[in-house]
A and B are shown apart, each in its own frame.
Chain A
Amino acid sequence: MQFSGRRRKLAVHSQNDLYSHCLQLYVQPPLENISLSEFETFAVERLKLLKTVENLGVSYVKTTEQYTKKLHAEISNLNFPHKAEVDEASFTKSQVGPSEYEKRRKDHISHFILRLAYCQTEDLRRWFIQQEMDLFRHRFNDLSSKYKTEFLHKNNLKYDTLSADEKMNLKDQLINSTFGFSGITIVEQDFYKVPFQDALDLIRTRKVFLRGGYAYIPHQDIVTIVLNDFRTRLSKALALTARSLPAVQSDERLQPLLNHLSHAYVGQDYSIQKNIGKISLEQIDPLSAKSFPLCMRQLHKSLRENHHLRHGGRMQYGLFLKGIGLTLEQALQFWRSEFIRGKVDADKFDKAYAYSIRHMFGKEGKRTDYTPYSCMKVILSNPPSQGDYHGCPFRHSDPELLKQKLQSYKLSPSGIVQILELVKGMHYQLACQKYFELTHNIEDAGFSLNHPNQYFMESQRLLGGVKEIKKEVEVPQKVQENSVTNGTSVSRQPNTTQAMEEMGDLDSYFADE
């Protein structure tokens, strides 16, 4: 990899040569200069795409229409290339938005940037390879047959095809052994003779005819072969990249971005409080049961019971409360009144704990207005130990205890089973989403959960929608409704380009202690 290529100028290839196909295997690294902001934007957008790939991959079977449609939509929204059928005209500046050429360029560059961020540990590499493969598979399958062949040739995957005679000789075996083929299609389609080591997935599931160490693969299944090739190359490339990484990390402009990308939350940061002061303290108790995600419900409950929370819990819960609209004064009152009921007297509270609450609101120290923690942060950092109540219950609680807790919250047994399954598969945010669906009595949450405050807003939006009808009857709810109507305008799918406007200083995204 030539990292210095980014800083030195090199001959720029003519547009037509470089990106002649919408799909590529990312063999050659990009050799041009780009601005830092483009660097950041590309990286974050691709990361969003890959996260969507991951989420969709878990929520839907990969061959279903829903999966394809949703992924397609995301690819378009983020301006990545997907269709091969583009005429020459749109190669240059097209009607609206970036041209096809620009999309392909972004695809190329963003992939290589993410390699830098995801090459460092085995887990990161595995994740990156998995999502890139799924993305590639989707895009390849989307191509028409003509473009598939073009792709194969451009990428030197020259497997021999069977001659017509050979095909006739093997006709019966091919029909019997090849999944989904009849006599007619055998004649029409090309069959490739591939060494079995290159076609392991098809062999494993017995989907193709195997003889003498060669798999006889129809054209339509060639994607599996290509994917294997893709995976091997990417795996090797990542290993190489990891070795060159120290050189890249010495550049202070890139280092913070790369470090944060692998733990990135790329949605709204909920630090913009459009609903400040709309929540009253008396509402917190009922809200905790209705609209808080399980982690915050747990924290609130233990605060009420023990009249105390340790530091990790105070941070996670305190910032969340800030995010739902508590003012500094409300927060101080809230925590103070609770702690006093415990072992802490008023003086001690003002001396020790008040400071840290003000700190959270950016009124002390270096005055950073800290942002509420995203799910990623809660799940990945600072695991709770004995006596702690922070963290993500789906991730950090013992499954038995989690089950009991959910039962005590009167969730349906089948729902609990589903949640536990997701937990077992390590899909913690999806488990929380399921919790949302069960507690709000809906089929589909309609959003992809990645932030506790997002949970709150979506919940309020949902409940507000119902309450709107009963507005006249339930007066005490009035205050809440205001925040709900505000909430409606603020809350939307986190993965929009709108959030991208707030890119300014990346550090504010990942505010740490």
Chain B
Amino acid sequence: MSNSDYDPACLPDLLPLYYRRLFPFSQYYRWLSYGGVTKNYFQNREFSFTLKDDIYVRYQSFSTQNELEKEMQKMNPYKIDIGAVYSHRPSQHNTVKSGTFQALEKELVFDIDMTDYDDVRSCCSAADICSKCWTLMTIAIRILDRALREDFGFQHLLWVYSGRRGVHCWVCDEAARKLSVAARSAVAEYLSLVKVRKKKKKKNNTYISHYFLQYAIVGQELLSSKEGVDKVLNLLPEDILCDLLLHYQSEKNPTKRWERLKTLVHQKRQATSKKGGQYFDKEIMLQYCYPRLDVNVSKGVNHLLKSPFSVHPKTGRISVPIDLRNLDKFDPFEVPTISLICEELDKPRPDEEEEDDTKDKENEIEAGERRKIRDFKRTSLAKYIKLFDQFLDSVARSRKGDMLKKSDLQKDF
């Protein structure tokens, strides 16, 4: 069991262990430096910490990876947020002439929170989640991921589980980091389709159709209860509505009920032959499943968002990256908690010795680092850090590719 009985009261004891032996500082630093292409990119980045007793400190910044480590190990923050890259070191913002301290760049971020779906889930509400309603998250992730990649041309998307009831998406492309407030807001609005129901993408409909039956009809029992039925019927025209009401009196199986609905809608569509007919069934599915975003999170360049690999104080779960290749298998309840991984630290794993030897030969790492790598490899955190590494590798590859292109253009061989 992944829970290992997490108790929030233990956090003060677990955090020092986590930050000293498990937190992936070198990957973290590698990420936020972005290859060192822009001077002081890491140094001008704002971090904020939430300490014990809800003490909140902003405008933290660090000159080196080492400084970041030492500080975190000293403060043992309950929560870590990442902010923007500013024009000056955030820790010195008070010494800067007012008006000149500006947020310059930041990843484009999205926050999908399950509470925004409360009106379409009957199994849970507020902060709770279960495997049934997590499907909504899966749909949202797929749709957003596709839209960001295909429509906007972004390539480096880091999807992170927030630790309790949502996911975050960090778009790390250079172009994304440089977007203005207006651009961010436009992108977020483009993606928040639930409000503007004009153009629907064909591909999205596939995802939705695929999941809808399982999620809404079966899982959420959309057409089983009276309330559910009423909600759906509200979205339909008079004639179909009457027919269905009659039909539902005898037919109780929700799947069959949905089939009937689809058939009727289809028939009506054939009959009307208006351009872009009446896709009521699609509309219903969209209403329920489309991603619901908080635009404010995405708009601000200086907005602070929970950092990957931060701990969620209430659940103890680590904010880990999500592997989109195996999205359907992702289970939020299997995500390791801090208590679990601390426990795992003490249990040795047999195959780790060989892996380390090969690693040491390839890179020159000091003893401390070696130990650290050995440490997290022992724990369930390992696969997530590996995922993070793969992400960083692809960012680096693409950066090298861009630099080559630039030097080619400048005829600089």
Q: Report the minimal beta-carbon distance from B176 to chain A, rounded to whole angstroms.
A: 10
**Contacts of A210 on B, CB cut-off 8 Å?**
151-152, 190
The contact sample of 26 A-B pairs, CB cut-off 8 A, is A176-B199, A179-B198, A196-B152, A196-B183, A197-B179, A197-B180, A200-B182, A200-B183, A203-B187, A204-B185, A204-B186, A204-B190, A205-B189, A205-B196, A206-B190, A206-B196, A206-B198, A210-B152, A210-B190, A211-B151, A211-B153, A212-B150, A212-B153, A213-B152, A213-B175, A214-B153
**Contacts of A200 on B, CB cut-off 8 Å?**
182-183, 186
Q: Which of A167-204 contact B (CB under 8 A)?
A: 176-177, 179, 196-197, 200-201, 203-204
Interface residue range, chain A: 10 to 19
In the docked arrangement, what's the CA distance between A210 and B175, Å?
16
In the docked arrangement, what's the CA distance between A177 and B185, Å?
20
- With a 10 A CB-CB cut-off, give which of B180, B183, B185 has the most chain A CB atoms: B183
Known: A210-B152, A211-B153. 14 other contacts (CB 8 A): A179-B198, A196-B152, A196-B183, A197-B183, A200-B182, A203-B190, A204-B185, A205-B189, A206-B198, A210-B190, A211-B151, A212-B150, A212-B152, A212-B153
User: Could you tell me if A211 and B150 are in contact, using CB atoms closer than 8 angstroms?
Assistant: yes
Q: Which of A471-508 contact B (CB under 8 A)?
A: none
Q: Report the minimal beta-carbon distance from A120 to chain B, rounded to whole angstroms.
A: 15
Closest residue on chain B to residue A172 by CB atoms: B202
- Which 9 pairs from chain A and chain B are nearest by CB? A213-B153, A200-B186, A212-B153, A204-B186, A210-B151, A204-B189, A203-B186, A206-B199, A213-B152
In the docked arrangement, what's the CA distance between A15 and B190, Å?
46
In the docked arrangement, what's the CA distance between A204 and B151, Å?
13
Residue interface mask A385-413, B partner, CB < 8 A = 1: 00000000000000000000000000000
Q: Report the minimal beta-carbon distance from B385 to chain A, rounded to whole angstroms.
A: 30
In the docked arrangement, what's the CA distance between A176 and B199, Å?
7
The answer to whether B34 has its CB under 8 Å from any CB of chain A is: no
Closest residue on chain B to residue A200 by CB atoms: B186
**Contacts of B198 on A, CB cut-off 8 Å?**
179, 205-206
**Contacts of B183 on A, CB cut-off 8 Å?**
196-197, 200
In the docked arrangement, what's the CA distance between A177 and B151, Å?
12
Tell me how many residues of B have a C-beta within 8 Å of chain A.
Answer: 18
The answer to whether B101 has its CB under 8 Å from any CB of chain A is: no
Q: Report the minimal beta-carbon distance from A178 to chain B, rounded to whole angstroms.
A: 9
Residue interface mask B201-218, A partner, CB < 8 A = 1: 000000000000000000
In the docked arrangement, what's the CA distance between A214 and B186, Å?
14
**Contacts of A204 on B, CB cut-off 8 Å?**
185-186, 189-190
The answer to whether B154 has its CB under 8 Å from any CB of chain A is: yes
Q: Report the minimal beta-carbon distance from A126 to chain B, rounded to whole angstroms.
A: 14
- With a 10 A CB-CB cut-off, give which of B175, B186, B198 has the most chain A CB atoms: B186
Q: Which of A204-220 contact B (CB under 8 A)?
A: 204-206, 210-214
Closest residue on chain A to residue B193 by CB atoms: A206
Closest residue on chain B to residue A195 by CB atoms: B175
Residue interface mask A146-176, B partner, CB < 8 A = 1: 0000000000000000000000000000001
Q: Report the minimal beta-carbon distance from A323 to chain B, rounded to whole angstroms.
A: 44
Closest residue on chain B to residue A182 by CB atoms: B275
**Contacts of B175 on A, CB cut-off 8 Å?**
213
Closest residue on chain B to residue A178 by CB atoms: B199
Q: Which of A414-447 contact B (CB under 8 A)?
A: none
**Contacts of A177 on B, CB cut-off 8 Å?**
199
Closest residue on chain A to residue B183 by CB atoms: A197
In the docked arrangement, what's the CA distance between A200 and B151, Å?
13
In the docked arrangement, what's the CA distance between A213 and B153, Å?
5
Q: Report the minimal beta-carbon distance from B261 to chain A, rounded to whole angstroms.
A: 25
Q: Report the minimal beta-carbon distance from B142 to chain A, rounded to whole angstroms.
A: 18
Closest residue on chain A to residue B190 by CB atoms: A203
**Contacts of B189 on A, CB cut-off 8 Å?**
204-205
**Contacts of B182 on A, CB cut-off 8 Å?**
200
**Contacts of B150 on A, CB cut-off 8 Å?**
211-212
User: Could you tell me if A213 and B187 are in contact, using CB atoms closer than 8 angstroms?
Assistant: no
Residue interface mask B231-273, A partner, CB < 8 A = 1: 0000000000000000000000000000000000000000000
**Contacts of A205 on B, CB cut-off 8 Å?**
189, 196, 198
**Contacts of B154 on A, CB cut-off 8 Å?**
213
Closest residue on chain B to residue A205 by CB atoms: B196
In the docked arrangement, what's the CA distance between A206 and B192, Å?
11
In the docked arrangement, what's the CA distance between A63 and B287, Å?
31
Closest residue on chain A to residue B153 by CB atoms: A213
Q: Which of B123-175 contact A (CB under 8 A)?
A: 150-154, 175
In the docked arrangement, what's the CA distance between A200 and B179, Å?
11
Closest residue on chain B to residue A228 by CB atoms: B182
- With a 10 A CB-CB cut-off, give which of B153, B179, B180 has the most chain A CB atoms: B153
**Contacts of A201 on B, CB cut-off 8 Å?**
186
**Contacts of A212 on B, CB cut-off 8 Å?**
150-153
In the docked arrangement, what's the CA distance between A176 and B152, Å?
18
Q: Report the minimal beta-carbon distance from A362 to chain B, rounded to whole angstroms.
A: 46
In the docked arrangement, what's the CA distance between A200 and B152, Å?
12
**Contacts of A206 on B, CB cut-off 8 Å?**
190, 196, 198-199
Closest residue on chain A to residue B202 by CB atoms: A176
In the docked arrangement, what's the CA distance between A179 and B186, Å?
17
**Contacts of A176 on B, CB cut-off 8 Å?**
199
In the docked arrangement, what's the CA distance between A493 and B284, Å?
54
Q: Report the minimal beta-carbon distance from A38 to chain B, rounded to whole angstroms.
A: 37
In the docked arrangement, what's the CA distance between A200 and B189, Å?
10
Closest residue on chain A to residue B200 by CB atoms: A176
**Contacts of A203 on B, CB cut-off 8 Å?**
186-187, 190
Q: Report the minimal beta-carbon distance from A502 to chain B, rounded to whole angstroms.
A: 42
- With a 10 A CB-CB cut-off, give which of B175, B185, B189, B190 has the most chain A CB atoms: B190
Q: Report the minimal beta-carbon distance from B121 to chain A, rounded to whole angstroms.
A: 27
Q: Report the minimal beta-carbon distance from B299 to chain A, rounded to whole angstroms.
A: 12
In the docked arrangement, what's the CA distance between A211 and B187, Å?
13
Q: Report the minimal beta-carbon distance from A203 to chain B, rounded to whole angstroms.
A: 5
**Contacts of A213 on B, CB cut-off 8 Å?**
151-154, 175
Q: Report the minimal beta-carbon distance from A429 to chain B, rounded to whole angstroms.
A: 30
**Contacts of A197 on B, CB cut-off 8 Å?**
179-180, 183
Closest residue on chain B to residue A213 by CB atoms: B153
In the docked arrangement, what's the CA distance between A205 and B197, Å?
10
Q: Report the minimal beta-carbon distance from B29 to chain A, rounded to whole angstroms.
A: 29
**Contacts of B153 on A, CB cut-off 8 Å?**
211-214
Residue interface mask A207-244, B partner, CB < 8 A = 1: 00011111000000000000000000000000000000
- With a 10 A CB-CB cut-off, give which of B150, B151, B180, B185 has the most chain A CB atoms: B151
**Contacts of B151 on A, CB cut-off 8 Å?**
210-213
In the docked arrangement, what's the CA distance between A213 and B150, Å?
8
In the docked arrangement, what's the CA distance between A142 and B252, Å?
60
Q: Report the minimal beta-carbon distance from B7 to chain A, rounded to whole angstroms.
A: 46
In the docked arrangement, what's the CA distance between A3 and B373, Å?
65
In the docked arrangement, what's the CA distance between A441 and B91, Å?
64
Q: Report the minimal beta-carbon distance from B115 to chain A, rounded to whole angstroms.
A: 25
Closest residue on chain B to residue A179 by CB atoms: B198
In the docked arrangement, what's the CA distance between A206 and B175, Å?
21
In the docked arrangement, what's the CA distance between A453 and B182, Å?
43
In the docked arrangement, what's the CA distance between A88 and B180, Å?
44
Q: Report the minimal beta-carbon distance from B204 to chain A, rounded to whole angstroms.
A: 13
Residue interface mask A249-283, B partner, CB < 8 A = 1: 00000000000000000000000000000000000
In the docked arrangement, what's the CA distance between A352 and B101, Å?
54
In the docked arrangement, what's the CA distance between A176 and B153, Å?
20
Q: Report the minimal beta-carbon distance from B197 to chain A, rounded to whole angstroms.
A: 10
Closest residue on chain A to residue B197 by CB atoms: A206
In the docked arrangement, what's the CA distance between A212 and B187, Å?
13
Closest residue on chain A to residue B175 by CB atoms: A213
In the docked arrangement, what's the CA distance between A177 and B175, Å?
24
**Contacts of A179 on B, CB cut-off 8 Å?**
198
In the docked arrangement, what's the CA distance between A204 and B298, Å?
14
In the docked arrangement, what's the CA distance between A446 and B99, Å?
46
In the docked arrangement, what's the CA distance between A211 and B151, Å?
4
In the docked arrangement, what's the CA distance between A197 and B153, Å?
12
